[in-house]
Amino acid sequence: MIIAIDGPAGAGKGTLARRLAEAMGYAYLDTGSIYRAVGARLLDAGAAANDRQAALNAARNLDPADLERSDLRREAVSEAASEVAVQPDVRQALLEFQRRFTASPPGGKTGAVLDGRDVGTVVCPHADAKLFLTATPEARAERRHKELQESGVESIYARVLEDIKARDERDSRRTAAPLRPAEDAVTLDTTALNADEVFAQALRIIAEKT
């Protein structure tokens, strides 16, 4: 059983995906964290985010331990992640990582929940249920801003909003696996919903699909 959750930054994908995975006893993969891990490796090495060879090396040698790095949510890493994500060969290397995860979810689990930008369209086109979460850029920036502040990272709302808009633009316009809902995805606008309401609606949608 595979559940795909896509959408732009701050739409509530991570919170929902983690909760679904826990409720259903499935493995969880935050696919954004693998792009972030590659971006973080480039920053470590002092390489430019558009250095294709360095990005490809980092993607091919992705260390699962890097997905747990505590600095992955920093704005500089978000930016680098979305820059490496436009490179088709980087996406291909990371696709293989994601396919291995879904083919045999860790811990012998019988299902997996993945969240990202292209899970329903590219990574798992045959997912059992696909959700596309959206919300206004302002609502998403507000959430991301709070999240950063709560984790002790200094954050300025206007900057977060600007960054979210820039990433939306880059993620939607790129030619390799752009951000868009799969044809068979159910879109859920979370602007006016809290986490419990999103979870309840998602459970209902998944029950209808499976």
> Which residues sit at the interface with ligand C5P, rule CB under 6 A?
9, 31-32, 35-36, 78, 81-82, 85, 116-119, 167, 171
Please, which residue, 33 or 205, has the CB nearer to ligand C5P?
33
Least Å distance, CB 197 to ligand C5P, is: 21
Least Å distance, CB 98 to ligand C5P, is: 8
The tokens of 149 are what?
């502040």
Cα torsion at 170, 176, 178, 181 (round to 10°)?
A: -170
Least Å distance, CB 36 to ligand C5P, is: 6
The number of beta carbons lying within 10 Å of the beta carbon of residue 48 is: 13
Please, which residue, 25 or 102, has the CB nearer to ligand C5P?
102
Least Å distance, CB 78 to ligand C5P, is: 6
Q: How far apart are the first and last CA of the chain?
A: 9
Q: Whole-angstrom Cα distance, residue 4 to residue 114?
A: 5
Please, which residue, 85 or 206, has the CB nearer to ligand C5P?
85
Q: Whole-angstrom Cα distance, residue 210 to residue 206?
A: 6
**Do residues 174 and 97 touch, judged by C-beta distance below 8 A?**
no
Please, which residue, 19 or 36, has the CB nearer to ligand C5P?
36
Helix (H, G, I), strand (E, B) or coil at 186: strand
